[in-house]
Amino acid sequence: MRGPTTFPAPPARRRSRRMDGEVVLVTGGSRGLGLRLAHEFGGRGASVAICARGRERLTRAVAELTSQGIDAQGVVCDVTVPEEVEVLPEEVVARFGRLDVLVLNAGIMRVGPWETLTEEHFAQALDSMFLGPLRLVRAAFDPLRESGGRIVTITSIGAYLSVPHLMPYTVAKHAEAALSESLAAESAGTGVRVTTVVPGLMRTGSHRGAVFDGSPEREYAWFALLAGLPLLSVGAGRAARRIADAVERRRGFLVLTPAARLGMAAHGLAPGLVQASMRLIGRVWPDIPSEPRELPGSEAARSLKGRAVGVVTFLNERAAHRLNQVSRTRQTRGVGARR
């Protein structure tokens, strides 16, 4: 088994210590962006609780955090199970005595043409990225009100700009973004602040945790390529720093990349043109094979032919290794990836 990943301590200028004594709960915190956020908040003096479904990966992530001197707790919790969500804030408060920041980061990702998707796939996405966060906010609101805390929702550019072959994810992210912005309006006067984060493409290794439908190898190739291009994507460390800065400053809205800002602006100014562009992109996407298949991202990568794709996706593959993004092959079929 590969040993714990070691992250460098945040630079001195980032160690503001303004979060000393605060407690942060990150869902989907055992890998990817969630794990990097846990390191970033911990490096600023906060105690950190992370939750995830898999105990082994969660234990490894907590070991990584504590090795950096971070006071950390791991809680096994599936955000799609109401009973587990209901007691999650109680467990964190029992351990640390308070809750100051709730980061809604857990999610699943399925890539493929909509003709290969079932109603169950949409229900899974909505359960993970809309109903789960809604239930958790309800359960955590009282301790957050007591501390004058913050709710941070990690949405996606997909919440505002629909792209082909990500329909369940896009639909669920639309709902999650609406939930976050509605909470910002509804929480006025409670002392609780809400930050809506809109990432663009990020090099977090999420392609290794996604599930690919239709022609998995071809779907994997375009997805990993786009998510790994330096000019279009942002590294997980930089993304985590900007999110933590926004939380400290109590910002209400954060768009992480210039490409995401450009996409949102284009959609606002010329939605018809953007829609026509997406239709054009959809025409050149991988066709549906005569016998559609489903593969986890790691299996799709292994079966992908040709070395060119491996070269152009190098940055994303490196991110997958560094951010604890291992294969989901042994997990239940039909469930995608946490960010």
Per-residue pLDDT tens digits for 63-110: 999 999 999 999 999 999 999 999 999 999 999 999 999 999 998 888
Provide the pLDDT for residue 234.
Answer: 76
SS3 content of the chain, % helix, strand, coil (to 5): 50, 15, 35
Measured CA to CA, the distance from residue 128 to residue 144 in angstroms comes to 22
Count of Cβ atoms closer than 10 Å to residue 55 Cβ: 11
Cα angle 248-252-255, degrees, rounded to a multiple of 5: 95
Measured CA to CA, the distance from residue 43 to residue 73 in angstroms comes to 15
Whether residue 125 contacts residue 225, with contact meaning beta carbons closer than 8 Å, is answered with: no
Provide the pLDDT for residue 7.
Answer: 43
| Residue 160 annotated in active site | no
Provide the pLDDT for residue 297.
Answer: 54
Measured CA to CA, the distance from residue 316 to residue 138 in angstroms comes to 35
Quote the pTM value: 0.80
Measured CA to CA, the distance from residue 110 to residue 112 in angstroms comes to 7
Measured CA to CA, the distance from residue 273 to residue 266 in angstroms comes to 8
Provide the pLDDT for residue 331.
Answer: 41
Provide the pLDDT for residue 3.
Answer: 38
Residues of the chain scoring pLDDT < 70? 1-16, 203-210, 212-233, 274, 281-339
Whether residue 81 contacts residue 307, with contact meaning beta carbons closer than 8 Å, is answered with: no
- Which one is catalytic: 7, 141, 169, 223? 169
Provide the pLDDT for residue 174.
Answer: 96
Sign for the CA dihedral angle at 316, 319, 323, 328 comes to positive
Provide the pLDDT for residue 307.
Answer: 40
